[in-house]
Structure 1
C-alpha cells in the first residue's frame, strides 16, 4: 500500500518577524527557503515529491512538503539540522577568522542554537488526506527546547542572549558579573565587526550597512544578517558542494525610512498576502481520483506565479521580499528618500494586485493586508500591522484587502474592502466635481464633532444609517443610494463583512464605520494635495 508523508517545520513567522532591517527579512527568507529546499532535494532521492514544485528554484520555497513515499523523522531531522548547522558553522568561523584578536568561548552556544532553533513536524497515512490530518494532529504536541543563557539580551527582540566572543565563558557568573564592563566589550566587538562587514578602515566609523555598532544581536539574528553577505554564501556552498547552492542576495539596498538631516521620514507601503482556504482546496484535490497530479499541477502553477511576481515587480516601486507560492510579502518604497513614492501611486499599484494574482488561473481568492506606514514606526511593528491587517481581511469574508494607515505615534486608521469594490476610491468627487479629499474629510470631522453618526438605540439605527448613506452619496454619486435601496442589507453585508446574526444596531454601526473608515483612508492614501 502507498504511504504518503507530510512535513513542515517551525518557527517560520516568528523567525521572519524578528527583524529591524530589510536585510533581516531577506536573510530570514533565504534561510527558510534554503532549509525547505534541502528537505525537498533529499526527499527526491527516495520518494516522489508532490509539492512544492520547482525544487531547483530556491527563492520562496514553501515550508510545507507533501511526499508520495516514506521519509522518516530521522531523515527529516538529519537533513534539516545538517543544512542549518552548515550555515551556522560558516558564519561563526568567518567571524573568528576576520576578528582573530578575540578569545572565543561561544562554540557551545552556537551548537545549542544548531540543535534547538527548529522544530519539525511529520505525518503519514495511506492517503494524502490522512497524511495531512496526521501532520496537523502531531503539530498539537510541541517539543521545542529553549536555549538558556545569562547576561543581557538582544537589542532587537530582547528575548535571547547577545552573541559575542565571551558568551560561553565559564567565569560568567550572574552573582559577580560586571555588566558595565561587559557592555563595553560587546560594543567594541560589534563596532569591529561592523567595520569588517563595511570594509571600513580602523580609524573611521562604520556606516552600519550590515550591522550598526550600537546593535546587540543574538546568534540567529546575527546569522540572518551575515547570510546576506555574498562571501559567506560562497563559503556555505563550497562546504556543501553536492547540494543545490544557496542563492546570493542581488541588488540589495536598505530602506532609508527614518528622518535625517537632509530628508524627511519616508512613508512606505508593505503588503502581505495569502491565498484563501488553500488547505481546504488541497483537501478537496486529495479526494480526487488523480490527486497526486492535481496537487502537483496546483503547486507548480502557484510556485511559478510567485517566481514571476517577484521578477516582474516594478523596480522603481520597491521589491518583493518573498513569494512562497500562495503567500507573499513586499514593500513599496523609493530608493531615493528625497523623492518618496506618493501614496496615490502606491494605491494605483494595489488596484492591480488582484488581477495579477488571478494570472495563476487557480480557483483561489486572495486576502491582503496593505500598510502605509510612517518612517519612524519600527519594522517589527510594521510586520505585526501587516499580519493583523491580513487577518482582518480574512475574518471579514476573505477575497478582500485591509488598508491600514499607521502613524509615527503607532495609532492607525484602517478600512477593509472586497477587491471588486476597491475602485470606489476612484469615484470620489467633491462639491466642485474634482477629487480634493479635503472637502469630505473636513465635512466628516464636522459631523463627527456633532455626534451626527452616533446610534443610541434601535429606533435611531435606520435614521442614522440613512443620514450616513446620503452624506456618502454626495461625494460618491450613486453609491450611497445603493446602500439605502438595499432593503435586505446584502450589499452592505458584502462590503462591510458583518454577520447575518448581527442585530440592526450592529449592522448600522458597521456600515457607518465602513463609510467613515473609507473616508479616513481615502484622504490619507488618495489625496492629490
Structure 2
C-alpha cells in the first residue's frame, strides 16, 4: 500500500535543534472520490479519506496534542469519533498534515502514523468483506463459488495496493541555516515583516518550507503499484470495475456467468446492507465495495449513529430541492417515514408506475407531485456542481516568518470549514460534500448555486480579514471557482470532471474568477468566465429571468439570443456601434422584459445592459490575463471587445438557463 518513508538524517555537527517536521499525505484523492455514481458514493469517498487521515494523526495527537499540528488546525478536532457522534458533519480535513515533534521521536511517530492509516483502512475493509459474504451466502444462484474464489484471490491485493501513503521526516537540525537559505534561494524581502523578523522566526519558516519541498520531491517519485492479480482456475480474469477501472470486479470471470451473477446481486432481492444496494449494471472491485458499504457495515456501529442520518438524496432530488421546498412542501424524508421509499425519478414520470425497477410512486405522493407541477411547473432536471479552491495558499502561508502565522491561517480555514460553509450550503438547499478550509465541493439546485458561491466567497474573505489580517491592511486570500450545470441523468463522474476543468479554467485565466460550464442535454456546452463582483449582476439577471406571479414567463432572453446569433458581425464593429446594437435589441424587447431587467427605469433597459457590459470589461481587466488590455493596439482591442461581448452574452444565456431550469 505504501512507499518507503523519506527522512533527512540528523547532521552530526548541527544538533542545536531537537525538533523535527513530519509531513504526511495520501493519494490518489481525485480518482478515489470521483469514482462515484451516486451522491452517497461521492460523500463516502470524501468522508473515508478524512477519517483515515484523522486516524493517521492519532499517534501524534495522543502523545503531543493538537498543538503539534501546524496544518491543519486540530484545536477543535472535527473528525474525532467523539465529536462526530455529537454532530455528524461533512468531512473537513485535508488528505495532508504537517506536524512538529521532538526529533528523537520523529521516525517512530512517522511509522506509527503510517501504520495507523493502514490499520484503519484494513479494519473498514474487513468489516465490509464480512458483511458482503454474509449477504451473498443468502443468495441462491450460479456464481457464488466463483465469488468466494475471486475474493480470496483479489480482495486483499486490491485493498492493500490502492492507497499511496507518503511520510517525510525532516529534523530541523539536519541542515545548517545557511544551507537551508541556499537551497531555497533568496526571498527578496527588503521590508515589512521579513525585514524585522528575528533570525529564529526566519529560520523556522525556511525550515518548514524546506520540509514541504522535500515531501513534494518525495511525491514526484512515481509509486510502483504492487498489484499482481491471480487468474481463476481457467486462467481467466474478470473484467474491469464499472466505477474504478484500474481493478477487476469480483465474481465470475466468464462473461455469461458474470452477467447472471451481478444481475442477482443488483436485483430486488439482491445484496442490501443497511438499505444500501448495488445498482443495476454495476460490477464492483474490492475498493468500490468498501466505498459503497463502509457506512452501513462499519461507521453506523463505530459512531453509533442513526442510519437515517446517512441518507443522501439522489441527483434528481438535489436538482429539485428548492422546488420541493416551496409551499405546499413535499419532503422526501416525510415520504420515506410514511412509505419507506423515495425516488427523485418520480418527479419526472408521466405515470406513477412508469419504471418497474424503480418501484411505483405511492398514490398520495403522486397526487402531491401533480399538484406541485400544476402550481410551479415541471420539476428542475438540472443541478450544479460547485468546486472552489484557494489561490496561492502556499504564498500566503509563507508571507510572515515564524510559527504563529501558518497556525493562524490554519485556524481561520477551520473556522470557515466548520462555522460557515455547512450552513451556507444548507441554506441554499445544497449538499456539502467536502470543505477542507480553502477548498469546497458542493451540489446544489441551479437557481441557488450563484447565491451560494457569492456567500461562500464573502464569508471566506471576512474570516480571512478578521482572523488573519486582524483588521489591518494586507494581502487578502482569494478563491477560484468552477461550476458545472448538468442534467441529473448524466454520469456523476462527468459532472465532477466538468466542474474540475471549469475551476482550472478560472485559475488559468488570472485566478479570483468563477468559470461556469452549462452542459445541455441537446449537446450544446457553453463556458463563461465571471469576476466575483459581477456575480451580483448575474444573480440579478437570474431573478429577472425567473418566472413569478407578476411575470409568469419571466424576462425574455430573446434579445441576448439575437445578439449571440449576430456575434460574427458584432465582433467586427467599432465599440460604439456594438453598444448601440445592444441598446437597440434590448429596448425593442417587450415592456415586461424591460421592467424585469431595469425596474427603476424600463425605458433605459438597453443603456443599463451596456453599463453592465462596461463594468464587466473593467472587472475582467483587473482579474483576467487571457485577453489584451483596453488601450492596446487597435486590432488587439477589437479582439478584446469581441471576446468580452461573447463572454458577456454567454453569461446572459447562462443566467436564463439557470432561472428557467429547462429540461431539453
Same fold (TM over 0.5): yes
Bigger Cα displacement from structure 2, 23-32 vs 412-421: 412-421
Partners of 1:154 and 1:194 lie apart in 2 by: 19
Q: Please give the per-residue CA displacement for 1:185-228, whole angstroms capped at 9, x wherever unaligned.
A: 233244488443266xxxxxxxxx53224421121111111012
Partners of 2:387 and 2:651 lie apart in 1 by: 20
- Higher percent of residues as helix: 2
Count residues with an aligned counterpart.
Answer: 479
Partners of 1:15 and 1:315 lie apart in 2 by: 28
Name 2:558's counterpart in structure 1: 442
Alignment of 1:134-173 (within 5 A): 134-145=214-225, 147-149=227-229, 150-164=237-251
Partners of 2:267 and 2:565 lie apart in 1 by: 53
- For structure 1, the 5+ residue unaligned runs are 167-171, 173-177, 200-208, 238-244, 334-342
1:82 correspondence with 2:127: no
Partners of 2:421 and 2:555 lie apart in 1 by: 39
Larger-gyration structure (1/2): 2
CA-CA distance at 1:482 after TM superposition: 7.3
Of 182, 185, 198 in structure 1, the residue corresponding to residue 258 of structure 2 is: 182
Name 1:493's counterpart in structure 2: 621
1:111 correspondence with 2:111: no
2:22–2:168 CA contact under 8 A, matched in 1: yes
Of 254, 263, 267 in structure 1, the residue corresponding to residue 313 of structure 2 is: 254
RMSD over aligned CA atoms reads: 3.4
Q: Please give the per-residue CA displacement for 1:331-356, whole angstroms capped at 9, x wherever unaligned.
A: 224xxxxxxxxx44444444433223
Name 2:413's counterpart in structure 1: 302
1:119–1:144 CA contact under 8 A, matched in 2: no
Alignment of 1:135-284 (within 5 A): 135-145=215-225, 147-149=227-229, 150-164=237-251, 178-191=254-267, 194-197=270-273, 209-229=276-296, 231-234=297-300, 237=302, 250-257=309-316, 259-262=348-351, 266-284=381-399
CA-CA distance at 1:520 after TM superposition: 1.4
CA-CA distance at 1:129 after TM superposition: 0.8
Q: Please give the per-residue CA displacement for 1:104-145, whole angstroms capped at 9, x wherever unaligned.
A: 221342211232111122334432111111111111111141
Partners of 2:556 and 2:164 lie apart in 1 by: 52
CA-CA distance at 1:20 after TM superposition: 0.2
SS at match of 2:502: helix
Q: Please give the per-residue CA displacement for 1:296-347, whole angstroms capped at 9, x wherever unaligned.
A: 22212211321223542436713211112211111224xxxxxxxxx44444
2:582–2:606 CA contact under 8 A, matched in 1: no
Partners of 2:404 and 2:22 lie apart in 1 by: 16
Of 431, 434, 443 in structure 2, the residue corresponding to residue 319 of structure 1 is: 431
Of 83, 94, 102 in structure 2, the residue corresponding to residue 62 of structure 1 is: 94
Name 2:129's counterpart in structure 1: 92
TM-score (norm 2): 0.64
CA-CA distance at 1:410 after TM superposition: 4.8
Bigger Cα displacement from structure 2, 418-427 vs 442-451: 442-451
Name 1:169's counterpart in structure 2: none
SS at match of 1:403: strand
Name 1:522's counterpart in structure 2: 655
TM-score (norm 1): 0.79
Partners of 1:525 and 1:485 lie apart in 2 by: 22
Q: Please give the per-residue CA displacement for 1:405-444, whole angstroms capped at 9, x wherever unaligned.
A: 22224532232212112111355579xxx98998763233
Q: 1:110 to 1:256 in 2, by over 3 A?
A: same
CA-CA distance at 1:451 after TM superposition: 4.9
Partners of 1:37 and 1:221 lie apart in 2 by: 21
